[in-house]
Structure 1
Amino acid sequence: MEKTIIRTATEADGAPLAELDRRTWSTLHAVMPRPEPPYGPFFTERSRPEHFLVAESGGRVAGYVRLMPATPLAANAHVRQIQGLAVDDAFRGLGIARALLRAAADEARRQGATRLTLRVLGHNAPARSLYASEGFVVEGVLPEEFLLDGAYVDDVLMGRSLTS
């Protein structure tokens, strides 16, 4: 397998990232409805290329992580939040999600953050296990926060320190 590089997204990544999002959509991790045509742009004013780190292998987009300030408030400018992580099925099991999480932590530190948080659906055991193995701990649970495919699903809040 080709060496994987992780880099900041560019405008040219919009179409491949949008396609990846559509291919990997699942109620295991998505609370929004399945994307249907006509598709809007992947990048928007609130979700710009610089918010994404892209994993590329063999010239192909293999995955991405979206890293954002948790809120626009100055009082928690020290917190970054992962607001999306996807890996192409063809690249699963190669450590790409783990590499993206580590790159997100490094980028968050570079931006001056001391904490990294995320939200994950309670029934997404593989993601929860990965996050725990990377130092994230459950910091809160919103029970039955979402109704997906006729079942109530918890919203699990996880976080970790970037200083220890």
Structure 2
Amino acid sequence: MTISIRPSLWSDYPALVAIENQIWNEENTPQVITYSSAAAYKTHYPIGTHLVAFSELEGKAVGFIGFHPPTHLEAHKKTWTIDIGVDPMMQRSGVGEKLMDAVKEEAEKQGIHKLSLRVLGTNQGAIRFYQKNGFVIEGTLKEEFWMNNQFIDDILMSYIL
């Protein structure tokens, strides 16, 4: 399987919307958001704000990793918050690791010092994936979310370049 990683293009957006609309559920996000169209998605995520895993075999994007400063503060210019999504049919195939490697490489090129993310404490598979890719737990927002009749921790993780 040939997977190339590159910046997002407008032509990727239908596949990105399909991935987003499939992967998020009440087990892995405090609020499920779906997108009605590529244009709606683009208003939140402009072209070039993702790296895309493109499958030659599939002829489409099969994963993405988004990156942006956590705030507009000048003091945050050396940190990126990241989010990742992989087509469910392509999970556990190495696509996620390729995306992680690519965002680390891009961050280094752009002088970024730290990558950060948030993950639900109940999403142990994602936590293990991030740890496997060098991320460490920086902190826990205890009982941050009330979901499915229980309190859920929000785990803060980071990778220092």
Provide TM-score, normalisation by structure 1: 0.89
Tell me which residue corresponds to 2:74: 74
SS at match of 1:48: coil
Cα distance in 2 for residues equivalent to 1:12 and 1:36: 16
* Aligned residue in 2 for 1:60: 60
**Contact preservation (8 Å) 1:65, 1:100:** yes
1:38-49 matched pairs, under 5 angstroms: 41-44=40-43, 46-49=44-47
Using the TM superposition, give the Cα deviation of residue 6 of structure 1 relative to its aligned residue in structure 2, in angstroms. 0.8
Letter in 2 for 1:29: N
| 1:106 Cα offset (Å) | 1.1
User: Structure 1 residues 143, 39: closer, same or farther in 2, change over 3 A?
Assistant: farther
**In the TM superposition, what whole-angstrom CA distance separates every residue of 1:104-133 from its partner, at most 9, and x where no partner exists?**
111111221011111111111111111111
SS at match of 2:28: coil
Report the Cα offset of residue 21 of structure 1.
0.8
Once the two structures are TM-superposed, the CA of residue 148 in structure 1 deviates from its matched residue by: 2.2
Alignment of 1:9-28 (within 5 A): 9-28=8-27
Aligned to 1:51: 49
CA contact (8 A) 1:15 1:42 kept: no
Question: 2:84: which partner in 1?
Answer: 85
Please state how far the C-alpha of 1:60 moved relative to its aligned partner.
2.3
Separation (CA, whole Å) in 1 of partners of 2:35 and 2:52: 24
Counterpart of 1:114 in structure 2 is 113
* 1:110/1:125 CA distance change after superposition, 3 Å: same
2:138–2:157: 8 Å Cα contact kept in structure 1? yes
Report SS of the residue matched to 1:127.
helix
Unaligned runs of 5+ in 1: none
Residues 130-164 of structure 1, C-alpha deviations (whole Å, 9 max, x = no match): 111111111111011112222221110011210xx
SS of the residue aligned with 1:17?
A: helix
Secondary structure in structure 2 of the residue aligned to 1:28 = coil
Q: What is the CA deviation profile of residues 11-50 of structure 1, one whole-angstrom value per residue up to 9, with x for unaligned ones?
A: 1222211111111122232222353758961111x52121
Identity among equivalent pairs (%)? 31
Alpha-carbon distance between aligned partners in 2 of 1:122 and 1:107, rounded to the nearest angstrom:
28
Residues 138 and 17 (structure 1), Cα distance of their counterparts in 2 relative to 1, 3 Å cut: same
Matched, 1:136 2:130: no
Identify unmatched segments of 5+ residues in structure 2: none
For residue 19 of structure 2, give the secondary structure of its aligned residue in structure 1.
helix
Letter in 1 for 2:20: D
